[in-house]
Amino acid sequence: MKNLFHKENNETEPNLKGTFASVLILGGLIVICWVSVFAIFMTR
């Protein structure tokens, strides 16, 4: 039985560490914006 997840040719996967870091930074900025707007809303 052939392994379905194994590639026949020896292509390497692209390095996605930079993409993951960018997504985490963008998500963090969105969360910080939401929390700051909610804090402003609660204090008024």
Give 1-44 pLDDT, tens digit per residue. Answer: 556 666 555 667 778 889 999 999 999 999 999 999 999 999 98
Q: How far is CA 41 from CA 3, 6, 20, 31, 44, in A?
A: 55, 53, 31, 15, 6
Domain annotation covers residue 6: no
Amino acid symbol at 24: L
Q: What is the pLDDT of residues 28-40, one digit of tens each?
A: 999 999 999 999 9
On whether residue 39 sits in a domain, the answer given is yes
For 23, the domain range is: 17-44
Total domains in the chain come to: 1
Q: Let me know if residue 8 belongs to a domain.
A: no
Query: What's the helix, strand, coil split of the chain in %, to 5?
Result: 60, 0, 40
- Decide: pTM greater than 0.85: no
Residue 10 lies in a domain: no
Q: Is residue 36 part of a domain?
A: yes
CA neighbours within 13 Å on the CB side: how many for 32? 6
